[in-house]
Amino acid sequence: MGFSSRGMAPQATVVYEEGPASADGTGRYFMGREIARVMSHRGAAWLERADREREEQPDVLIEALGLDRDDVVADLGAGTGYFTFRIAPLVPDGRVYAVDIQPEMLRIIEDRALEEGFGNVAPVLGFETSTGLRPRSTDLTLLVDAYHEFSHPREMLASIFEATRRGGRLVLVEYRAEDPDVPIRRLHKMTEAQARREVEAAGFRFVENLNLLPQQHLLVFERSAE
């Protein structure tokens, strides 16, 4: 396929490769997977589309998280805050960090939090290689349809791991690439095997695939309490 490595010292392990770019891809590959292009803030309306509740069943997802009142949750790749504002009422004694790399998305979240009185919602500007969160500051990180767009997934997983308290969880939600009937473009879906391969390499332990959602994997990982 004409792959080439880049930015690596001699004899260093190749983390990312460059190759042919698909229509929605970057031409950047990680563990054999082409990284998808990021959805712009101009696509914010799609995140709040009327059919999303029927297609994704967000209430089922959130109930499955089993949150406690004082949990600290990171909604990573928060977008418009679709999940942030569903989680916030469930953790009144905790906090929801709404993390995104696009300031335009964070302004949407900040405005809504102020307007609706969500004092436990904290917008956080993330980076391509870091969540921007303090070490061991979160009980749970939620990633919904965002991970596949990370330009530096290895570095981001390391940052998530660092931000997660011992015994804390990472919940990864991605459209099922194994199902050809899921009407999502190829690079915006992941197989369970690929997701596990990448996340477990960062030190997380796979717990289970809850298989509760119509079109998406609901994968639960844990940072060991040891």
Say how many C-beta atoms besides its own lie within 10 A of residue 100's C-beta. 25
Whole-angstrom distance, CA of residue 135 vs CA of residue 33: 28
pLDDT of residue 33: 98
pLDDT of residue 125: 98
Residues of the chain below pLDDT 70: 1-13, 40-49, 226
pLDDT of residue 55: 82
The CATH architecture of the domain made up of 37-222 is 3-Layer(aba) Sandwich (3.40)
pLDDT of residue 13: 67
pLDDT of residue 7: 44
pLDDT of residue 3: 40
CB-neighbour burial class of residue 119 (10 A; exposed 0-12, middle 13-18, buried 19+):
exposed
pTM: 0.90
Domain positions in the chain: 37-222
pLDDT of residue 9: 41
pLDDT of residue 77: 95
